[in-house]
Amino acid sequence: MMAENQALLKVENLGVCFTHGAMEAHALRGIDLSFYREEIHGLVGESGSGKTVTSTCIIGLLPSPPGKYTSGRILFNGVNLLGLSQAQMRTYRGRKIAMVFQEPSKYLNPAFKIGEQITEMLRLHLNMGKEQARERAKELLGLVGLGKDGRVLDSYPHELSGGMKQRAMIAIAISCNPEFLIADEPTTALDVTLQLQILSLIKKLKDLLGMGVLFISHDLGVVKEVADRVSVIYAGRIVETSTKGKLFDNPLHPYTKLLMLSIPDARRRGQRLATIPGRVPDADATPSGCAFHPRCPLADDRCKTENPELKEKENGHAAACHHAGESWKI
């Protein structure tokens, strides 16, 4: 594993809860993550596990109220982002840390042409003139595979296909050459062919711009295609983390194993896909002990009362499980 002091961005013991009257829902319960330049770090887990809350905290968009930080720090090049004012955070958001959202139709303004939405970023953060920003926007659209002829530049979002909108959103996100990119389920709404194209584009841009990338998905199959390192999140905690090769070759946490068994695999032709009974617990009703124990095939009395710590089991491979590495019959 890379030395910790080389991390571009570190999330340390991050806790977040949402309040409604006297009710408190703890969405994140001590998240620890490290991100490096020129590395794609996949964050995977079922809906409700805390993936998107983690990303909104990093980019400084946690709604407050009702959200509030209960612990931790987010260090970007050594600067604690949680200690910045909103005005200070705006100098990071878009310029140093950017985000690609799941459904571009919700985030592209239908009243403005694509070129106007790209040039707005360039003029706001880089103080470019109108013509210079327009030329740079053409270059960015060419970089993401939308051509430099100006056709997409002068198009409205409704005139583009789903894949083109996602590429346009990526062009906006990378317009200011950010050091860190968050891609939150960027391929979910696309067909398989377009998914592969977008994944290939993200890998290409990571290498070209030297960015660190957080790639969020509920699909381990997609993460396997794009990530260098993978962390598995469940009920607001990281339950396993390692390089992609180690994690897929030897998953240690039962939750990770079950997620993998739910992926279609030609080697298991004729066999039923595994399913995980139950669902992720609500943030205001997390079970005691290990949060996964009501759904876990290996759970015992200790799992019901003692919350396992995330511990390194092998070099660079950590899991939060009392039975890490143990097998069971499906």
pLDDT in tens, the chain (330 residues): 444 458 999 999 999 999 988 889 999 999 999 999 999 999 999 999 999 999 999 999 999 889 999 999 999 999 999 999 999 999 999 999 999 988 888 889 999 999 999 999 999 899 999 999 999 999 999 999 998 788 999 999 999 998 899 999 999 999 999 999 999 998 877 788 888 899 999 999 999 999 999 999 998 889 999 999 999 999 999 999 999 999 999 999 999 999 998 877 666 676 777 788 899 999 999 999 999 999 999 999 999 999 999 999 888 899 999 999 888 766
Estimate to the nearest angstrom the gap between the alpha carbon of 159 and the chain centroid: 28
CATH number of this structure's domain 4-96+178-319: 3.40.50.300
Q: What is the pTM of this model?
A: 0.92
Dihedral sign of CA atoms 14, 43, 322, 236 in order: positive
What is the phi/psi pair of residue 325, to 5°? Answer: 90, -10
Ranges of each domain in the chain: 4-96+178-319
Would you call 92 helix, strand, or coil by DSSP? coil
Q: Which of 152, 218, 162 is nearest to 194 (CA)?
A: 162
**Distance (Å) of CA 211 to CA 97, 188, 208, 261:** 10, 22, 8, 32
232: phi then psi, degrees, rounded to nearest 5: -105, 130
| Omega of the bond leading into 66 within 30 degrees of 0 (cis) | yes
